[in-house]
Each structure stands twice: as C-alpha cells, then as structure tokens.
C-alpha cells in the first residue's frame, strides 16, 4: 500500500481508536500505514519518542515529515482532509461546545487508562485505592452528564463527541468488563448498542 501517512498505533489504545474511527468515518483509512508501537509509561518506544517527545500515541506522521499529536489535534487535522460534512464544526459557538464535550470524553479515557496503569502496571504494594476511587468518580460524573444534560446533544450525530464516547465505552468493556455501567446509564447503553454496530466501530475493536 502506498500510503502518505503513518499512524503510530496500538490496538488497545482508546485514543488511537478515536483516530482509527475517524479515518473510517471520513473514508481516509487507506491513506494511512500503521506503525505498531508497544509502550507503557515504564517501557517507552524509541520510534514514538523520536516523533513525539511526550512518548505518547497516537502520533500521525504527515507526507512532509511533520508529526501531529495528540488525538485531538489529529482528529481536527483529519477533519480538514475529507470532502464530507465536517465532524467538528468549523467555527461559531457549536465548535467550542462540541470540542468541550469531546474533551469530557477524553477525560473519561484519561481516567480509565490511568486506572488501568495503576491496577496492572504499578507494583501491587504501591497501589493507591483512594486515587483509583477519585478516577472512578471522574468517570461517573462525566457519564452522569452525558446520560442527563448532554444526552440530546450526543444523540445529534456521529461526530467528534460521539466518537470519543463510543471509544470510551469500548475501552471500559475491554478493560473493565466487571463494571456493568449499562445498569447505571440506560440511555447511554441504548445509544452505544446502536453506534457500536457502525462499520467504523466494528473495524476497530480493541485487542
Ligand atoms: C491498554 O492496554 O489498556 C492501553 C494501551 C495503550 C494505550 C492505552 C491503554
């Protein structure tokens, strides 16, 4: 495949998944070669460090050699590379509202990924239960907000906000299968059941 872009990728990362879903939704998937990076906070990947000093994925190398990160920047960039309806409003109050809601979905992902590291990467004797509880509260506050006040906005279309939240639920099911979040958030559960069937979601399941 002669692809002009390279995405530094890991199939378990929900931040990478957001980019992958965006690529599928915008018809750009075949423009991108995947470079698998296996990394954690204590085992960095030299190729990722060389293109993103923060050592994080996703990072997207462009045809001119420049590398974009993080996932929010990459999504915004990709949204300017296709001819369809934008998935991030270009301007006006809607732009700031959708980006703020998308940022809340990233906060869920941050808390879920940090909790995963705390539970599985950090040595058992150093784990901090109160900190884990604080991360769980963040996730629950954000989901309460989407279940209630922001539900109609979420439901409008499958855009940058919906991509972030769908990837958050995908990650929770993948890494926290014991937590039946569907019982607490019935409207979101119904919404997710539907959007999880989209080809872009089915093609990007975490592994
Ligand atoms: C995970 O294995 O849960 C994971 C991998 C890469 C980035 C974030 C999370």
Residue to mutate, 18, 20, 37, 40, ligand 1, most ligand atoms under 8 Å from C-beta: 40
What residue has token string 């996730």?
Answer: 139
Here the tokens at position 66 are 């420049």
Q: Which domains, from first to last, does the chain contain?
A: 5-79 (3.40.30.10), 92-198 (1.20.1050.10)
Tens place of pLDDT per residue across the chain (207 aa): 679 999 999 999 999 999 999 999 999 999 999 999 988 878 899 999 999 999 999 999 999 999 999 999 999 999 999 999 999 999 999 999 999 999 999 999 999 999 999 998 888 899 899 999 999 999 999 999 999 999 999 999 999 999 999 999 999 999 999 999 999 999 999 999 999 999 999 999 999
Pairing status of strand 32-36 against strand 5-9? parallel
**Rounded to an integer, what is the distance from CA 139 to the centroid of its chain?**
14
Pocket test for ligand 1, best of 44, 106, 116, 206 (most atoms within 8 A of CB): 116
Q: How far is CA 140 from CA 64, 108, 112, in A?
A: 41, 9, 11
Q: What is the pTM of this model?
A: 0.97
Instruction: Please enumerate in sequence order all residues whose Cβ is within 8 A of that of 84, keeping only pairs 6 or more positions apart, or say none.
Output: 26, 27
Q: Which tokens in the block code for residue 34?
A: 């995947």
């Amino acid at each position: 495949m002669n692809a002009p872009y390279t995405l530094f990728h890991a199939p378990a990362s929900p931040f990478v998944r957001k980019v992958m879903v965006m690529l599928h939704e915008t018809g750009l998937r075949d423009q991108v070669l995947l470079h698998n990076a296996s990394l954690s906070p204590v085992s960095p990947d030299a190729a990722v460090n060389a293109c993103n000093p923060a050592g994080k994925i996703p990072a997207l190398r462009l045809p001119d050699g420049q590398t974009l990160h993080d996932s929010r920047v990459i999504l915004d960039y990709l949204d300017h590379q296709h001819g369809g309806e934008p998935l991030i409003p270009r301007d006006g109050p809607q732009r700031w509202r959708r980006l703020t809601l998308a940022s809340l979905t990233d906060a869920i992902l941050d808390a879920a990924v940090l909790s995963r590291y705390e539970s599985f990467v950090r040595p058992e004797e150093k784990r901090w239960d109160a900190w884990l509880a604080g991360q769980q509260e963040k996730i629950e506050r954000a989901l309460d907000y989407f279940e209630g006040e922001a539900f109609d906005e979420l439901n409008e279309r499958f855009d940058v906000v919906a991509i972030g939240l769908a990837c958050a639920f995908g990650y929770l099911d993948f890494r926290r299968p014991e937590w039946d979040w569907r019982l607490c958030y019935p409207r979101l559960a119904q919404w997710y059941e539907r959007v999880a069937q989209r080809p872009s979601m089915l093609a990007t399941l975490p592994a």
